Amino acid sequence: MRVMYVAAEAVPYAKTGGLGDVAGSLPRALAEEGLEIILVMPRYYVVDRARYGLKALPLVLSVPMGSLGVLSCGVYEGTLPKSEVKVYFIEHEHFYGRESLYLNEWGQGYLDNDVRYVFLSRAALELCKAIGFVPDVVHANDWHTGAIPLFLNTHYYHDPHFQNTASVFTIHNMQYQGNFYPGLIEILGVGWHHFHMHDLMHEEQVNLLKAGLVHAHALNTVSRGYAREIMLPHYGYGLDGVLRERFRDFFGILNGIDHEEWNPERDPYLPATFSAQDLSGKAVCKRFLQKKMNLPQRDVPLIGVIARLVDQKGVDVIAEALFRLLDFDIQMVLLGTGESWAETFFTQVSLSRPHRFQARIGYSEELAHQIEAGCDFFLMPSRFEPCGLNQLYSLRYGTLPIVRGTGGLKDTVENCQEEKGTGTGFVFYDLTADALINTVAWALRIYREKPELYQAMQKRAMQQDYSWRRSAKKYIKLYRYALRKKGVKLSRQGRK
Ligand code: ADP
Ligand code: GLC
């Protein structure tokens, strides 16, 4: 089976969150299952051509952009590390020659994000034709590439190149929808008859997420829990009805994690390594982290937070609870960037309670690994969470997650049951400071008064298998489903 996977970011080249992790590791896992897969993304400035040995292809793509006319771009080619997956980077200085992926210096989305990502969507399809890649499936991700299923159903519907091509669309986040002014219809070039409530229109605007939801042959999101939630108004951000209409074609497939990249037994960022059998190195990591963060090197429970500081992650609830939490004998470290009120607030608390709380405002892969390894607990009180990767990294590093039971968090963290001696973390449901504080207090009690249970939970957490293999197999099933839906005949073995 041949697949083109298109995303706005992918590790190791460019990442702002979990989408980057997934786009950089799922294609590799699919290739290991025998698929021929290519990855397509923009060539932002942060994508270092020399470092990754990218080569410019000897071609210029002509990309029809409706009322903007036909625009041209270049293409770089590389290979995804530790794999044979070819990666194609769409090179357009005006659209992608920027340091930050999505946001301007004031933290607002670039005003031309609509055109930038419609361009990516169309360029990816033109690329297939230019390099002679005939995909069985085009797999688009999030609103940035929502126009791809639409284009396959319109401009390319009669194109022989895509006659047997089905589309799959993955929702990584229902909150970010790519909602733009109606005139975008002219740039999409699909005609105004697509501007109605059963198609691209949402709240009188053109909604690119909805384009993907309406037009793809198969849909999924990144956990079963979140799949159920976003069919309800509370979590659906206005598009729950669209998903309810398509519920037969809509699935939940849990993300995996890159077991090589996040491996406590072989993590180059750590001062000592450790495993479920021998946790002694974790204590070294904890002391190292305390020192690095200017916290006293005491034997005290250490709680970590790594997050984009936005409402999704419940950082407002952490902020509300923080002073009461710091009345416990604990230490906390926080790493993140995001809304300016949160950056300021957490920096101030670091100054006023430096022996208990330290925040680092910024982005650091290295510190993220050290926090996952060095902490005793990881706090993630998300308002909603499609999958969440940090709690999966925490499990793997024996750092017990304390999470709100929503979406992927609920699906992956097994709540502590004291009487049975089971669980891999601590789960609460009400999104309130009180619920958060009570649950932290419970976790602290287990840590202090029932160390055997705490250690048993650590071992159980570290033994969970969230590698990509299982999920990759489910994506292959989803691809077959999409092909059947399109009406493409599969060969006897069910494989194309
Ligand atoms: P989301 O995609 O909603 O941000 P996830 O938990 O799926 O949430 O993924 C977040 C990813 O981004 C993780 O790999 C996490 O380690 C990383 N991350 C987020 N903020 C930072 C930061 N400030 N520094 C380093 N890594 C970060
Ligand atoms: C989104 C979600 C996160 C998920 C990630 C990868 O950013 O917020 O929960 O893990 O995508 O699918």
378-419 per-position pLDDT tens digit: 999 999 999 999 999 999 999 999 999 999 999 999 999 999
Contact 389 CB / ligand 1 (< 6 Å): yes
* 109-164 pLDDT, tens digit each: 999 999 999 999 999 999 999 999 999 999 999 999 999 999 999 999 999 999 99
Asked if 383 and 313 count as a contact pair (C-beta separation under 8 A), the reply is yes
Ligand 2 neighbourhood includes 335 CB (under 6 angstroms): no
- Average pLDDT along the chain: 97
Query: What is the CATH code of the structural domain delimited by 2-256+468-486?
Result: 3.40.50.2000
Question: Per-residue confidence at 304, pLDDT binned at 50, 70, 90?
Answer: very high
- 495, with CB counted inside 10 A (0-12, 13-18, 19+), is exposed
pLDDT tens digits, one per residue of 313-338: 999 999 999 999 999 999 999 999 99
Residue 21 Cα to ligand 2 middle (Å):
9
Q: Which ligand is nearest to the CA of 364?
A: 1
Mutation pick for ligand 2 pocket among 255, 394, 412 (CB with most ligand atoms within 8 Å): 255
Question: pLDDT value at position 491?
Answer: 66
User: Where do the domains of the chain lie?
Assistant: 2-256+468-486, 280-462
> Where are the extended beta strands (E) located within 123-213?
137-141, 166-171, 179-180, 201-202, 205-207
Neighbours of 473 (CB within 10 A): 14
Q: What pLDDT score does 496 carry?
A: 45
User: Which residue puts its alpha carbon closest to atom 14 of ligand 1?
Assistant: 18
Question: 137-141 and 166-171 as β-strands: parallel, antiparallel, unpaired?
Answer: parallel
* Euclidean distance between CA atoms 434 and 152, whole angstroms: 49
Chain-centroid distance, C-alpha 373: 21
Average pLDDT over residues 7-33: 97
Query: Has residue 494 got a pLDDT over 80?
Result: no
Angle at alpha carbon of residue 279, lines to 274 and 283, rounded to 5° = 95
Bridge partners of 171, per DSSP, are: 221
Average pLDDT on 214-234 reads 98
Residues 6+ apart with CB under 8 A from 190: 66, 150, 151, 154, 155, 200
| Sign of the torsion angle spanned by Cα atoms 390, 392, 393, 394 | positive
> Which protein residue's CA is at the shortest distance from atom 9 of ligand 1?
18
What's 143's DSSP letter?
Answer: G
Is residue 409 within 8 Å of residue 385, measured between CB atoms?
A: yes
Average pLDDT, stretch 467-474?
Answer: 95
Q: How confident is the model at residue 490 (pLDDT cuts 50, 70, 90)?
A: confident
Mutational test site, ligand 1, from 171, 258, 363, max ligand atoms within 8 Å of CB: 363
First to last CA, the chain: 5
CA separation (Å) from 216 to 146, 169, 212, 243, 313?
9, 6, 6, 12, 29
Q: What is the mean pLDDT of residues 63-81?
A: 98
Overall CATH class of domain 280-462: alpha beta
365 in contact with ligand 1, CB cutoff 6 A: yes
The answer to whether the beta carbons of residues 210 and 202 sit under 8 Å apart is: yes
Domains 2-256+468-486 and 280-462 share a fold: yes
Res. 99 pLDDT band, cuts 50 70 90: confident
Substitution candidate for ligand 2 out of 5, 141, 177, 222 with most atoms within 8 A of CB: 222
